[in-house]
Amino acid sequence: MIASVTVPLDGDFDVAAAVFASRRAEERYFVWEQPDRDGFALGGIGSAWTVEGAPSGDRFRAAAAQCIDVTHAAVAGNDHALPASGPVWVGGFAFAPDGGAAPEWDSLPATLMTLPEVSMVRHGDRAEATANVVCTPGSDRDDLVPHAIARLESMRADPLPMLDPDPVSGYEIESVLPPERYEEAVARAAARIRAGGLEKVVLAREVQVTAPVPFHAGSVFAGLRAGYPSCFCFCVGTPTAAFIGASPELLVRREGARLSTVALAGSTRRSADPAVDDHLGERLLHSTKDLAEHRIVVETIERALEPLSVWVAAAEEPVLVRVANIQHLGTPVRAQLAEPRSAIELAGALHPTSAVGGEPWPGAEPTMRELEELDRGWYAGPVGWMDATEDGEFCVALRCALLEGRTAHCYAGVGVVADSDPEAELAETEVKLSALLPVLTGS
């Protein structure tokens, strides 16, 4: 059983700074922040309970059931009115059930949801912290509470460190596979789509950045949240690695019986010139290729939600979703759930959307595995949180990197359709990678 105690914090408490400053070297940790959404931030340190592995069958439903069983048996002290306050599960899932087999993903299993020893949440001008401790048979809750309070009082929120603007030596940036190999993969995928049976396949590539000194996850996170305040800025950390990113794509948000998500597909670059930027956006809104790719994503989301919902409503036309370096076509989708389903289960029902997988999935999956030639690990998988009410939110892990010592494994992908141009698709991956590379290299 779990015993939890929740206490108030100052409303301006920097959750991310506290996580990076207070975590111990042997602990897992988690940060989730969307600054533009009323400063929402969630952080977790340590592991009071962990649900991990890749069980056979529905890994999302199995993980949800285990999390719910533990939370329902928890003894909670103090009321917690904020979303994600009290006992909260944090973590994520690899893109594929068997994902993360490559050595760099050793510390992040295909399923990993953690109930932190300490969690902190801020929303607007309110903040709270929760300590969770495991109650063993015969243990006295009154004896456990002082331990929990002591851990809460040990938290410190040192300012996040800045990136070194003048490293001793330069950074090396290298595509794991030659760029021309990626163009060949795009051409082969487009040919298969034209031959029939497939509408779309998403192909990813990996670029590695080697630094002169080990990467500091806190510095990288600070750069991401400053540069991408409208995105889901996340860091899933282990004693040996950190999976970090700033994703523009909401996979699912559950608030009681209400569900919301966003279909995000079709992209173009930004420009510092407002007139050029507007022109690029207008061209994207009228691009036959991008609109067709986007429509596929909207339709697959609607089909996934219809069996679970009383109604599903998607906006009639996409809008432009702009972040610092790129703009996308986005269509908000809402639904009213027909029966209670947890945030983790809903993430499993939607993953993978065709924005990161393909359509139809049974044909796209083997094509993707063959042509990508990489282990995606957690790239494009669901990352997020679920609280004791089973509400929560998960993003699609995009614009991300796995930090491992002096190496950063960076990932980006594009949706390939019948008329995709290999050179243009390679260029789109470069635009997406440019969200992270300057933050990693301090350039």
Active site residues: 200, 249
d(CA 75, CA 87): 10
Nearest to 161 by CA among 44, 17, 32, 15: 17
Residues 6+ apart with CB under 8 A from 439: 163, 220, 223, 224, 227
Contacts of 35 (CB under 8 A, 6+ apart): 41, 225, 229, 230, 233
What gap in Å lies between CA 277 and CA 248, rounded to an integer?
A: 18
What does DSSP say about strands 319-322 and 172-175: parallel, antiparallel, or unpaired? unpaired
Strands (E), 338-372: 358-359
Element spanning 291, H or E: helix 288-305
In eight-state DSSP terms, residue 196 is S
**Rounded to the nearest 5°, which phi and psi values hold at 75?**
-105, 110
Kindly state the tokens that stand for 120: 């902190």
d(CA 22, CA 155): 6
Q: Which of 108, 99, 110, 184 minimizes the C-alpha distance to 357? A: 99
Instruction: Pick the closest to residue 337 from 323, 353, 349 (CA basis).
Output: 349
